[in-house]
């Protein structure tokens, strides 16, 4: 490729970029609210450890830009913090701890895969999501102040932290019917364990929402909005299969504000 042709391509690229951004209508904004995540069992690797989760609560917030292609359609890239995970409260299975495995070995007994106890357990997973959403919107009034929206698209997720938080006191049982008690007395389950090294650090999934916007200010350059939606990760989060496989997912409820740049 000659020097002149390279300069011509660079010049054309700059011209197209300038033409697009000069006429672009961008909204810049932020939003925050509540995440209601849960862990769903994934695939055929189901066992007492990866099933039985219920939803927990956590924060959800994002900064975003919205590029308006026209009055109906826009593209919305985001950088979003998302609380994920799930919880189990009450009687549940647990992997046999090392110290109790030694007890079985000393007694000449096979080490069971699971033991059972009555305690609380919460998987607290923090992700950074980068969604790119296709968004459609329709005005609800002739003054163009109220607008209903639908948005959906893929996201790439990065695991920031992962902790298993347990609490409570309980006897330990050999069976899920709680008939055979292990003769070690009541045990404390108050513990926080970093489990990030057990999980995959990236995920891929889909994000979506429905919302309503109120436009105001000079030339309606500002808006506040309410969105309800959710996200779901397509990839199993565990590296191995010892604890089964789970997928992340959450319902979200958020309020937001945005300001339109340009004319």
The distance from CA 252 to its chain's CA centroid, rounded to whole angstroms, is: 9
Q: From first to last of its 263 residues, what are the pLDDT tens digits of the chain?
A: 555 655 655 565 555 445 445 556 899 999 999 999 999 997 667 889 999 999 999 999 999 999 999 989 999 999 999 999 999 999 999 999 888 898 898 888 899 999 999 999 999 999 999 999 999 999 999 999 999 999 999 999 999 999 999 999 999 999 999 999 999 899 999 999 999 999 999 999 999 999 999 999 888 889 999 999 999 999 999 998 888 899 999 999 999 999 998 76
- Looking at domain 25-89+123-166+196-260, its CATH architecture is Beta Barrel (2.40)
Exposure of 92 by Cβ count < 10 A (0-12 exposed, 13-18 middle, 19+ buried)? buried
Q: 50, 41, 51, 121: which is closest to 87 by C-alpha?
A: 121
The domain segmentation of the chain, as residue ranges, is: 25-89+123-166+196-260
- Res 190: pLDDT: 97
């Amino acid at each position: 490729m000659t020097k002149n042709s390279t300069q011509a391509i660079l010049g054309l690229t700059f011209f197209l970029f300038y033409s697009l951004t000069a006429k672009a209508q961008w909204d810049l904004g932020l939003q925050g609210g509540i995440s209601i995540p849960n862990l769903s069992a994934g695939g055929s690797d189901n066992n007492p450890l990866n099933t039985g989760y219920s939803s927990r609560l956590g924060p959800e917030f994002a900064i975003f830009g919205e590029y308006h292609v026209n009055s109906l359609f826009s593209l919305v890239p985001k950088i979003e913090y998302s609380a994920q995970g799930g919880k189990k409260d009450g009687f549940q299975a647990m992997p046999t701890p090392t110290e109790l495995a030694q007890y079985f070995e000393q007694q000449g007994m096979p080490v069971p895969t699971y033991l059972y106890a009555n305690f609380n357990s919460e998987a607290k997973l923090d992700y950074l999501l980068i969604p790119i959403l296709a968004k459609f919107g329709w005005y609800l009034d002739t003054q163009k102040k109220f607008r209903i929206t639908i948005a959906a698209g893929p996201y790439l997720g990065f695991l920031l932290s992962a902790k298993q938080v347990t609490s409570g006191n309980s006897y330990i049982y050999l069976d899920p019917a709680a008939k055979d008690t292990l003769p070690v007395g009541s045990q404390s389950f108050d513990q926080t364990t970093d489990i990030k090294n057990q999980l995959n650090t990236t995920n891929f999934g889909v994000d979506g929402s429905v919302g309503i916007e109120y436009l105001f200010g000079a030339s309606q350059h500002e808006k506040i909005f309410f969105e309800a939606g959710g996200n779901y990760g397509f990839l199993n989060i565990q590296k191995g299969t010892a604890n089964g496989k789970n997928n992340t997912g959450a319902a979200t409820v958020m309020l937001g504000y945005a300001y339109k740049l340009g004319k």
